[in-house]
A and B are shown apart, each in its own frame.
Chain A
């Protein structure tokens, strides 16, 4: 037996004015799950604690709660000391019980056609990954989009895609999905990362539905315009200034001892909207012993097309980009755009290793910069945190140069084509970010993605900077100080 101290959300809307947290000290067996802690509270301390559970083995989806902010199945996740247990972020009926029915009702059901045909083995294999959903609504709880716009949510989109794959289904689920908010998903991947069944809803449902919508001519006009631009220019944004690629030679040698060589994939945003940030990054890499090879024939990675379901031109882009690095025998390609990095890692089949700049800098280690007298907060780019699993490296870099105050990792609204396609949603999500930024009291916002940086900057009065830029500022401050102390 062991003793755990836990904090549990309590609220009865029928008699309490507001929710409160209650602390409990419970005794449970080794290996006890969160559910067993709830049982212990109910049996030994307070039988009025309300929570929902049923199968106790991760199969019915009744018991999802948030533990330390993250949605989990109470019956499967091991209990730990000092945890905070809250209901899912849905309307509360009592304590940990939320009103699931309105969300479950939004999940479509199969309407059989007149003629029956068994799905083939291939069709079954395609449907299966979408079919293991236990409708626990962890994804609905985590989805940022449905909190600001009308959106049926990830679980409903998943079922729409499963039905679209089923030969027995008689309805047009693609048009239905579009009407239910298909284009409001920012592809932040939060739904996938909290799914106890690991269902890749953005990639396997949302993007696939968007591709089917494309075939029906339902792609949003703004997204179609981006696709035309990529076809015509190889870039997803138009030219408004001298690009990064036009400003740099093909090889940038490090300033000091050579530690490693990487190829650099710049991406459309850093190339053509924020070239200065990319140049800052090159300085940081050179200062830390990295040789950077920059193939000039590289083009858009295709992410804006994949996210919006316009995939016809994709193979051409992939081929050209892969060849650009393969022809130069590059074994490691560095990305600094979170979206490009995630695309190269997850949507490409690259014959080389792809690493984000944060990974590279931590791997080789950096020269310590001077500390800047600033308090910063860090915005986790979705495609870095969830798309590439990079959480600690940026923080390790940032804390070497400024003080860091964390804030919750929530999408800023710029991804998935939402900034161009559903601007009012993108603005609403950015407004939520602005509030979180304000809460931290930070002087600056740091991020590591051009979309996030560009978008958040439009909605906050604090400067939004790339990690590389802040590091470079630290180096400049260091150089300035060193110059001051040296005798003339």
Chain B
């Protein structure tokens, strides 16, 4: 193990941890990848948290989309996903998603997942926004938690090793090829891990916004790690604002209020009691796609028809109490903790940053643009286009998690060596933190506010330019680690700044409104299906926007 010796600020080079496959991230995609990779060779899963507790999968409430019934079809799921994604999705990735989602839920069931079932012992499904068939499978409103519990169970039954509470701070390179990663443990000691193949499954990053549903680990580490190593990212401007986040108490603002609430029949009303969705999408009403519902709510609030807590009402009081208790137990429990009984009183909700549709560019085998680096789950781009359908993310974690584990598992054995220079570069970076000046938490707050104000639901070129300016300014600060244990916070802050800059750069590159990305300063005479633009792309060596017919 190579250790960072805090007494003399020097590296101690004893040993390096090696594995055939290194998986970074312990959410649904990472654990699924590790389970699969373990069948091919020694697999090491590194988690910033305690595996199973971190990431956003465990917080996912509503469900998992899979075609399971005769009356439904993969073609319809494919079309729904493309239409919901404003036709920006990679068709071949969507094809795989819809075709393999049913097999992957079957894996979970065989490993013990406890989904709700019908009286005929079939997995129960509920309607979700933007889908023409009720194909969202669920375990009450703790679907992601159920999946995570099952996946961790399964992981324990494999030979994969788990390193808990180690924060990966950089990918290691052997020429153009990714050869592993370097991390910090809880005490701030350096850990080096070398592998034949590395899987990035670090999840999303909407913690860069002031109001977000993400867990503490949603800091965009994977986007930054990949970008800094030279990988190409696409569509980073596409940020999903979930329509319904909690607005009170202030410190818990943004907390997810699941789409299942609307799936079960919850209605949205403004302060005047009007079901305003009829003005925005009279056909689909509350079960329109998330981009449309979010904009509708934001517009109502901006135009003065919001509550005093700056939200709108989400009302389930007309539903049978037993339905709320059995299908939405987590929502009931959470709101009760905050003094609101949703069986009697409407919830107050407002949009909250939820999911990054963009990410590392991947092939159908989850290969990134860097050799030996694979990406799956939210950190990868292309599956969800410009707006993700509720229920497609959990399916994505399993479908592409499995593919990443398999592809990485099949990687060639290589000699595992680490170039001392790369370690020294990290050492230097960490050294600057120990003599830094600004508490990272201060910079994080500035960034979050700037992103919410300048790169939120409604965007303009000048505001985006200004936001990019703020990010660049924040990048000049030298964050301070008061002890080695605080070094990881500084690295994470830098990751957040990189991720935020990618989001804003993508937003500037995309001179059209499409899906979740709205440019108020641009008028266009095409709809999403006929847009001349394809992916935005960003890497260390090039950036731009693709044009031409959709793939």
Q: List A residues at the B interface (Cβ < 8 Å).
A: 14, 28-33, 36, 39, 42-43, 47-48, 50, 52-62, 75-77, 93-94, 97, 100-101, 104, 109-112, 116, 118-121, 124, 127-128, 131-132, 134-135, 166, 168-169, 197
Contact = CB atoms under 8 A, between A and B. Distances in A.
11 contacts: A36-B251, A48-B486, A76-B337, A94-B485, A100-B50, A101-B50, A110-B153, A112-B111, A118-B109, A121-B121, A124-B116
B459 interface: no
Contacts of B149: 131
Contacts of B121: 118-121
B110 A168 contact: yes
Interface in B128-165: 139-140, 142, 145-146, 149-150, 152-154, 156-157, 164
Contact of B251 (A33, A42, A58, A110): A33
B176 interface: no
B63 to A, nearest CB: 15
A57 B338 contact: no
Contacts of B119: 121
Contacts of B441: 42-43, 47
Interface of B: 49-50, 52-54, 58-59, 109-112, 114-119, 121-123, 139-140, 142, 145-146, 149-150, 152-154, 156-157, 164, 186-187, 215-217, 248-252, 255-256, 329-330, 333-334, 337-338, 439, 441-442, 482-483, 485-486, 489
B329 A56 contact: no
Contacts of B337: 58, 76-77
Nearest to B118: A121
B117 A121 contact: yes
A111 B157 contact: yes
A197 B140 CA distance: 14
Contacts of B249: 29-33
Nearest to A60: B53
Given A29-B250, A59-B145, A93-B186, A168 B439 contact: no
Given A48-B486, A54-B216, A120-B121, A62 B250 contact: no
A47 B58 contact: no
Contacts of A54: 49, 53-54, 215-217
A55 B333 contact: no
A55 B59 contact: yes
B53 A62 contact: yes
B248 A31 contact: yes
Contacts of B150: 110
Contacts of A59: 58-59, 142, 145, 330
Contacts of A120: 117, 121
> DSSP majority for the A interface?
loop
B154 A128 contact: no
The 3 closest A-B pairs by CB, nearest first: A31-B249, A110-B112, A109-B153
Contact of B112 (A32, A52, A169): A169
Given A55-B215, A62-B49, A118-B121, 15 more contacts: A31-B249, A33-B249, A54-B54, A57-B256, A57-B334, A59-B145, A59-B330, A60-B53, A76-B334, A118-B109, A119-B114, A124-B114, A128-B140, A132-B142, A135-B52
A48 B111 contact: no
Given A58-B334, A61-B53, A29 B58 contact: no
A50 B146 CA distance: 29
Given A120-B121, A121-B118, A32 B251 contact: yes
A100 B50 CA distance: 9
Given A31-B250, A109-B156, A128 B334 contact: no
B482 A48 contact: yes
A455 to B, nearest CB: 37
A55 B58 contact: yes
A60 B47 CA distance: 14
B117 A62 contact: no
Contact of A47 (B115, B145, B439): B439
A53 B154 CA distance: 24
Nearest to A109: B153
A60 B251 contact: no
Contacts of A116: 109-110
A453 to B, nearest CB: 38
Contacts of A39: 251
Nearest to B339: A31
A127 B114 contact: yes
Q: Which of B117, B248, B483 is most buried by chain A, counting CB atoms within 10 A of its CB?
A: B117
Contacts of B58: 55, 59-60
A57 B252 contact: yes
Contacts of A42: 441
A128 B113 CA distance: 11
Nearest to A131: B114
B112 A124 contact: no
Given A109-B153, A127-B114, A47 B53 contact: no
Nearest to B149: A131
Q: Which of A55, A75, A97, A111 is most buried by chain B, counting CB atoms within 10 A of its CB?
A: A55
Nearest to B152: A109
B146 A131 contact: yes
Contacts of A97: 186
Contacts of A53: 216
A77 B251 CA distance: 12
A101 B164 contact: yes
Contacts of B146: 131
Contacts of B117: 118-121, 124
Contacts of A104: 50
A158 to B, nearest CB: 12
Contacts of B248: 31
A77 B333 CA distance: 12
A342 B50 CA distance: 38
Nearest to A31: B249
Contact of B485 (A50, A110, A168): A50
Contacts of A50: 186, 485
A333 B405 CA distance: 63
Contacts of A197: 333
Contact of B157 (A101, A109, A166, A169): A109
A42 B149 CA distance: 31
Contacts of A33: 249, 251-252
Contacts of B122: 118
A30 B154 contact: no
Contacts of B215: 54-56, 60
Contacts of A111: 157
A57 B253 CA distance: 11
Contacts of B116: 124
A162 to B, nearest CB: 8
Nearest to A79: B251
B338 A31 contact: yes
B48 to A, nearest CB: 9
Given A53-B216, A57-B334, A101-B50, A31 B251 contact: yes
B352 to A, nearest CB: 12
B157 A28 contact: no
B112 A168 contact: yes
A298 B28 CA distance: 56
Contacts of B152: 109
A167 to B, nearest CB: 10
A112 B157 CA distance: 10
Contacts of B114: 119, 124, 127-128, 131, 166
